[in-house]
Structure 1
Amino acid sequence: MAVASAETLPDKVVSLLKDVCVTPTSSEEKIAAGEKNAAKENWKLLRSEPAPMPFMHNENGVKNSFMTAWDLDLPEGSQGQLYISVLRPEPSDFRYTLCLIQPAVDVDGEDVSRSIDRQFGSIVTKDTSGRFRYQKDWFFTEEKSRGNCGKRISLPLNLVNDRGKPKTLMFTDFVYPTDSPMTESTQCPKSK
């Protein structure tokens, strides 16, 4: 007799990130995957509109991005929010895709880390550079082999100021034009 096991909160958060943010190959496919999941799982749409590219304090910037956000139900009676922001239209030499999942309750960082390792396996490589003490990062192995670490999964650990607040699981896919000073931010760190 088989025993059904409910999906845990960390596993659901990671599988949502994988299915909506990582697996779809283009920015527009990520938006479509979010809309498909929203319809299937009855998420509440919070926002779907042109928006400024998400830089800190850029609320009044040029609306060159498209932002979609939902409220959603998660396992263990929890709620959460999912945000997707993409450039629209997306130039061939510039990509700024940001996808965030934030449960309403704090989820154990080690449980989320194990779930990332289990669900993504060898397609991601943990950042071992030690450059961020309060955040865990996973780079996409194939991209990292080419020196691009702008495509990554990040988990802030909230160990200092935000202790006890819900953690945000984040996927970013940044590619800047070669003449941009921001290209340095996507270069891979040196490992210890």
Structure 2
Amino acid sequence: MRIEAAIVISAQILATVANAQTLSEKAVSMLNEVCIAPSSSEGKVAAAERHAAKENWKLVRSEAAPMPFMHNENGVKNSFVTAWDFNLPGGSRAHLYISVLRPEPSDFRYTVCLIQPDIDLDSDDLARSIDRQFGSAVAEDMSGRFTDQKSWFFAAEKSKGNCGKQIYFSLNRSSNRGKPKTLIFTDFVYPNDSPIAKSTWCPR
């Protein structure tokens, strides 16, 4: 009986690990297909709409809004936001959020995409999924400037000194431990005379 119980428990553990890997791979591949692979900001919105029609995603938001992360909830509505709910393997669900400037000037880009599963994903597995799917196209931020998140810059942009294009997620080490991680992609380009242009400079 003990042997049979051990076998059952081992099988359950293996199934849990395999499912976690599948969830991470799916989250990263969806971020790539919708938010990163399309070359234009509007192309990202169109990619989400194609996936939504094909996979029966639920639209939860579609409207003009201020730029996210800028603490200007009542600011000028110069961005277009779409948000969707979609299925992950194993019956889990995730939330996809896209914000792009509309219209987008030639010298100013502020694109934000994020995927938040409804269950927490293993940090190491999520990092391995990013490394596997993007390979040498990305380079992990090894500067040590942030201890509560893992970040990857895009190698081609980093070679130009631009680190406003990146993938990152929180490590959930403190008060957020156990809460679902948000996988985030940003693509920021500011006019040269903007006071926040230096925020996209690569760390030393």
TM-score range (shorter-chain normalised) is: over 0.9
2:98 maps to: 84
Query: 2:149 matched to 1:135?
Result: yes
C-alpha displacement at 1:56, in angstroms?
4.4
| CA distance in 1 between partners of 2:111 and 2:39 (Å) | 11
Residue 67 of structure 1 and its aligned partner are, at CA, apart by 0.1
Q: Which residue of 1 aligns with 2:41?
A: 27
Counterpart amino acid of residue 27 in structure 2: V
Distance 1:48 1:187 in 2: 32
Equivalent residue number for residue 146 of structure 1: 160
Aligned to 1:167: 181
Aligned match of 2:140: 126
Q: Extract structure 1 runs of 4+ deviating beyond 6 A.
A: none
| CA distance, structure 2, for counterparts of residue 176 and residue 56 of structure 1 | 14
Q: Secondary structure at the match of 1:160?
A: coil
TM-score normalized by structure 1?
Answer: 0.94
Please say if 1:114 is aligned against 2:158. Answer: no
**Structure whose alpha-carbon radius of gyration is higher:** 2
C-alpha distance in 1 between matches for 2:168 and 2:119: 18
1:123 positional shift: 0.4
What is the CA-CA distance between 1:144 and the residue it aligns to?
A: 0.2
Question: Residues 71-95 of structure 1, C-alpha deviation per residue, up to 9 Å, x if partnerless?
Answer: 1111121111000000000000100
Consecutive unaligned residues in structure 2, runs of 5 or more = 1-17
- 2:57 is aligned, of 30, 40, 43, to 43
Deviation at 1:55, TM superposition (A): 2.8
Amino acid at match of 1:144: K
Deviations 1:39-82 (A, max 9, x none): 11110000111111113442211100000000111112111100
Aligned to 1:157: 171
Aligned to 1:94: 108
Distance in 2 separating the partners of 1:139 and 1:28: 22
Cα deviation, residue 161, structure 1? 1.9
Aligned-residue RMSD, C-alpha = 1.3
Does 1:75 find its partner at 2:86? no
Q: Which amino acid aligns with 2:202?
A: C
Measure the CA separation in 2 of the matches of 1:145 and 1:59: 34
SS class of match (2:157)? helix
Across the two proteins, how many residue pairs are aligned to each other? Answer: 186
> Structure 2 counterpart of 1:158, which letter?
N
Q: Normalising to structure 2: TM-score of the pair?
A: 0.89
Map of 1:103 onto structure 2: 117
Q: CA deviation at 1:181?
A: 1.4
Which residue identity does 2:51 align to in structure 1? Answer: N
- Write 1 or 2 for the structure with the bigger share of helix: 2
